[in-house]
Structure 1
């Protein structure tokens, strides 16, 4: 038996907090693997690629294991749906995003035999491609590996 870890809550915090704010929580991140990044674009594929690249570079998923890349991809898509309010498109609708993101991998159940899961969170802005006309947005996706 292990300790239950709230990978979704951790992912949201990692995406929303500044580096300075995050210092208060670093000690509680020992039970998970994580990475953070930023992406701004009107192109949905660039958003997806930024998260995938960060997860691979930081060792959160193994490129040679399809199930890991697949789990990450579905977590990204679920998080994007939150950001875009259920309409997963940006540039096609004349919207742009400026997002911070995090990817967290861990065991969200006390029984470790339930396996590892992966969470992706986005926090930032979405809106018309005119500076100052965007609003805050957040999205969270979680999938089993």
Structure 2
């Protein structure tokens, strides 16, 4: 299998698997840095901020390097489009989300000239703000740094 698939695949796996299940994939994660967290809200900005804060606190991106923050932001938006089925709105449309997220950074290409990439994955629930009326959702965004 080509190495170009791994960064997004790893982001999805990390977001969806338990710690015990993820232990089987530690060899594939070598060379990548990653962090995970949770975000639940009816406010899209709070979800975005949760991911950005986790990525900065865990050293996935450098806050003072604009291109890194910019790449992360676009990967987050792309992943949220999957979560929201292309309608980047939650609270405005009376939807709420409960998500696990993962940010993965690395060099997925064999050629070093391709540089570093960042992947963001969300997995969780979306639905009306009534407990029990939500359904599963997933989203993945990948961007070059």
Partner residue in 1 for 2:129: 129
2:3 partner SS: coil
Runs of 4+ that moved beyond 6 A: none
Alpha carbons 1:4, 1:107 under 8 Å: kept: no
1:9 partner SS: helix
Offset at residue 31 of structure 1 (A): 1.4
Give unpaired runs (5+ residues) of structure 2: none
Give distance in 2, aligned partners of 1:20 and 1:131.
28
Alpha carbons 1:119, 1:140 under 8 Å: kept: yes
Partner residue in 2 for 1:77: 77
1:24 partner SS: helix
Partner residue in 2 for 1:4: 3
Deviations 1:33-53 (A, max 9, x none): 000000100000000000000
Partner residue in 2 for 1:55: 55
For structure 1, which segment, 64-73 or 3-12, has the greater mean C-alpha deviation from structure 2 after superposition? 3-12
1:136 partner SS: strand
Offset at residue 113 of structure 1 (A): 1.0
1:29 partner SS: coil
1:118 partner SS: strand
Give distance in 2, aligned partners of 1:108 and 1:36.
19
Offset at residue 55 of structure 1 (A): 0.3
Partner residue in 2 for 1:144: 144
Aligned residues: 143
- Report the RMSD for the aligned CA atoms in angstroms: 1.1
Give distance in 2, aligned partners of 1:62 and 1:89.
28
Partner residue in 1 for 2:14: 14
Partner residue in 2 for 1:29: 29
Give distance in 1, aligned partners of 2:114 and 2:128.
42
Alpha carbons 1:105, 1:117 under 8 Å: kept: yes
| TM-score for both structures, normalised by structure 1 | 0.96
